[in-house]
């Protein structure tokens, strides 16, 4: 059992059962009714939200324990989405498959993140949307959640470099209050990005 399986082993939902604020506020930019892949989706709160908005969602995570809870959350919220247990290290996307790819706090080592984001471009349909929120390196000083290893914490410039060729619709580094279950609580340093694969 890895760290994430252990973290998800209790009955409580570690980041709660409500969606991430940035996703909730901007989900409508993803083509309505489209296919959406949620990367590192954990216990399924964002997938459940998107499914409730009419998207055809797959929640991917390396934690089977998290995804079992995601399936229970889907039932409790009377929505349907698929779950896929997979490791994003070296992950290859089916080309032109997704109308949206969502990455909420999916913190990966920089080399893995870079290669994954090149793949995101492959996996999106033309006109498809990539939506991400992550902590930045400044978050280490805030101590309100997120990884402690700076290599896992991207800057906007790094994200834009890895997503070269995508059209940036919104790209911001900012402070905001994040309240999500027991896992995230308080003023935080985040990067938010919405990018579109050119049609
Ligand atoms: C901070 S949690 C975020 C969960 C979810 N996105 C949310 O906002 O509630 C990070 C998630 O990324 C997943 N993860 C980390 N490394 C991964 C990898 N290499 N492959 C697949 N999932 C990974 C973890 O299992 C964990 O569920």
Encode the chain (199 residues) as per-residue pLDDT tens digits. 689 999 999 999 999 999 999 999 999 999 999 999 999 999 999 999 999 999 999 999 999 999 999 999 999 999 999 999 999 999 999 999 999 999 999 999 999 999 999 999 999 999 999 999 999 999 999 989 999 999 999 999 999 999 999 999 999 999 999 999 988 889 999 999 999 999 9
pTM over 0.85: yes
Q: Is 40 in the pocket of ligand 1 (CB under 6 A)?
A: yes
Q: Is 49 in the pocket of ligand 1 (CB under 6 A)?
A: no
Which atom of ligand 1 lies closest to the CA of 38?
Answer: 6
CA of 42 to the centre of ligand 1 (A): 5
How far, in Å, CA of 1 to CA of 14, rounded? Answer: 17
Q: Is 13 in the pocket of ligand 1 (CB under 6 A)?
A: no
CA of 62 to the centre of ligand 1 (A): 7
Sheet holding 35-39, edge to edge: 82-85, 56-61, 35-39, 98-104, 124-135, 184-196, 167-180
pLDDT of amino acid 123: 98
144-162 burial code (b ≥16 CB/10 A, e <16): bbbeeeeebbbebebbbeb
Q: Is 8 in the pocket of ligand 1 (CB under 6 A)?
A: no
pLDDT of amino acid 184: 85
């Amino acid at each position: 059992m890895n760290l994430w399986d252990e973290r998800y082993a209790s009955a409580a939902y570690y980041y709660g059962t409500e969606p991430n604020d940035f996703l909730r506020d901007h989900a409508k930019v993803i083509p309505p009714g489209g296919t959406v892949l949620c990367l590192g989706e954990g216990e399924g709160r964002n997938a459940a939200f998107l499914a409730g908005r009419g998207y055809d969602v797959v929640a991917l995570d390396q934690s089977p324990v998290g995804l079992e809870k995601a399936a229970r959350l889907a039932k409790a919220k009377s929505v349907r989405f698929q779950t896929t247990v997979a490791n994003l290290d070296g992950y290859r996307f089916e080309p032109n498959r997704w109308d949206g790819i969502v990455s909420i706090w999916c913190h990966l080592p920089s080399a893995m993140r870079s290669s994954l984001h090149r793949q995101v471009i492959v996996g999106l349909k033309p006109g498809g949307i990539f939506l991400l929120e992550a902590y930045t390196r400044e978050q280490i000083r805030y101590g309100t959640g997120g990884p402690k290893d700076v290599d896992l914490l991207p800057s906007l410039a790094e994200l834009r470099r890895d997503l070269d060729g995508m059209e940036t619709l919104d790209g911001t580094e900012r402070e905001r209050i994040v309240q999500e279950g027991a896992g995230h609580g308080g003023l935080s340093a985040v990067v938010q990005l919405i990018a579109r694969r050119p049609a």
